[in-house]
């Protein structure tokens, strides 16, 4: 089956599993997941499951990505902070929907590979930082201090406070939290200056590693 047909089949599966946001479904339909997986896994690109990438990391399950993006309630004028660039697949999905994406990745190899893939795809609204995701968007360009949407793509042992500090008033952050498996997906909102936390659903992500270099 052609990749285009497999992509359509994946989008139909997402619809069947409750994903109704047309902008998110359109993004999934337009982004070729096969470009973001390792060559030896291209034939499995449209399985609704995580797949290995470099540095013992994974490209997340499409269904989980879709759930997280839906919970962010994305708008075209949003500036989104993504913690964990990974393969760049979720970055591409975000960039199709919102104004700008600022994405942080600890591992040089992953970030540089994702940057190459995303630039070849023609994206001009993505900004990259190689560094400790626990610190959020620091010493980076553009010099944003806060974001109205934040997505953390690896499991922190606790909700990272420095990332929460960068959540704007009225903003939404989604983050997996936990040391073991399953972890819990948390939704964090800033309302009238206060952070409010809500457990959403169990999940399984690779750990959000602190910079040990």
Positions annotated as catalytic residues are: 60
Burial of 167 (0-12, 13-18, 19+ CB in 10 A): buried
Q: CA torsion, points 37, 181, 186, 172, in degrees to nearest 10?
A: -20
For helices 108-120 and 89-97, angle between their N-to-C axes, nearest 10 degrees? 40
Contacts of 66 (CB under 8 A, 6+ apart): 14, 19, 24, 28
Hunting for tokens 């992500």 — which residue is that?
205
| 25 touches 15 (CB < 8 A) | yes
| 104 touches 82 (CB < 8 A) | yes
Q: At 127, is the secondary structure helix, strand, or coil?
A: strand
Contacts of 52 (CB under 8 A, 6+ apart): 38, 41, 58, 59
Q: Please tell me what DSSP assigns to residue 41.
A: G
């Amino acid at each position: 089956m052609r990749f285009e047909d497999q992509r359509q089949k994946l989008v139909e599966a997402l619809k069947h599993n409750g994903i109704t946001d047309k902008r998110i479904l359109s993004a999934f339909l337009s982004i070729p997941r096969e470009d973001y997986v390792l060559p030896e896994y291209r034939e499995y690109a449209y399985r609704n499951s995580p797949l290995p990438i470099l540095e013992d990391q994974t490209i997340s399950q499409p269904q989980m990505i879709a759930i997280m993006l839906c919970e962010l309630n994305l708008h075209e004028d949003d500036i989104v902070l993504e913690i964990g660039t990974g393969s760049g697949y979720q970055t591409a999905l975000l960039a199709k929907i919102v104004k700008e994406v600022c994405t942080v990745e600890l591992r040089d190899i992953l970030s540089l590979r994702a940057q190459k893939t995303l630039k070849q795809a023609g994206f001009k609204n993505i900004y990259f930082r190689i560094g400790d995701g626990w610190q959020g968007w620091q010493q980076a360009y553009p010099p944003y201090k806060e974001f109205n949407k934040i997505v953390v793509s690896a499991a922190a042992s606790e909700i990272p406070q420095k990332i929460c500090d960068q959540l704007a008033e009225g903003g939404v952050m989604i983050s997996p939290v936990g040391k073991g498996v399953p972890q819990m997906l948390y939704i964090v909102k800033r309302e009238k200056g206060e952070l409010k936390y809500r457990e959403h659903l169990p999940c399984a992500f690779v750990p959000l590693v602190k910079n040990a270099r």
